[in-house]
Amino acid sequence: AQSVAQPEDQVNVAEGNPLTVKCTYSVSGNPYLFWYVQYPNRGLQFLLKYITGDNLVKGSYGFEAEFNKSQTSFHLKKPSALVSDSALYFCAVRDGVNFNKFYFGSGTKLNVKP
């Protein structure tokens, strides 16, 4: 079965500092991994995905994520955080059989303070 874990409920970072939001995964077969962001009372917005290829994936709004197969991780990163990055972030993994089905982590609330 596919699953993802986000070990941190909340991450606090000062504006201008680098940020990392952690995600680990458990899959049978090839991992197809995603990051989404959710602003209050809004749906989820796609940030980036890893399907194959380079381990460092670049996405929207300056975010990137590093796929690490040995550590089964897919941490979201940004070199310099903005206050506007404050939101809820979800890691997700695609089902290995039904490609249309996704499994989401519990979410991490990112707080960027001025």
Partner 1 sequence: GAVVSQHPSRVICKSGTSVKIECRSLDFQATTMFWYRQFPKQSLMLMATSNEGSKATYEQGVEKDKFLINHASLTLSTLTVTSAHPEDSSFYICSAPTGGGWATGELFFGEGSRLTVL
Q: Assess 5 for contact with partner 1 (CB under 8 A).
A: no
Figure out which of the listed residues 2, 13, 19, 36 binds partner 1, where binding follows CB under 8 A: 36
Specify the stretch interacting with partner 1 by CB under 8 A; choose among 16-24, 65-73, 79-87, 91-99. Answer: 91-99
Query: Strand pairing partners for 38?
Result: 44, 88
Q: Quick one: 10 or 71, whose CB is closer to partner 1?
A: 10
Distances (CA, A) of 105 to 30, 35, 45: 18, 10, 15
First-to-last C-alpha distance (Å) of the chain: 41
Residues found near partner 1 in the complex (CB under 8 A): 30, 32, 34, 36, 41-46, 49, 51, 90, 92, 94, 99-102, 104-107, 109
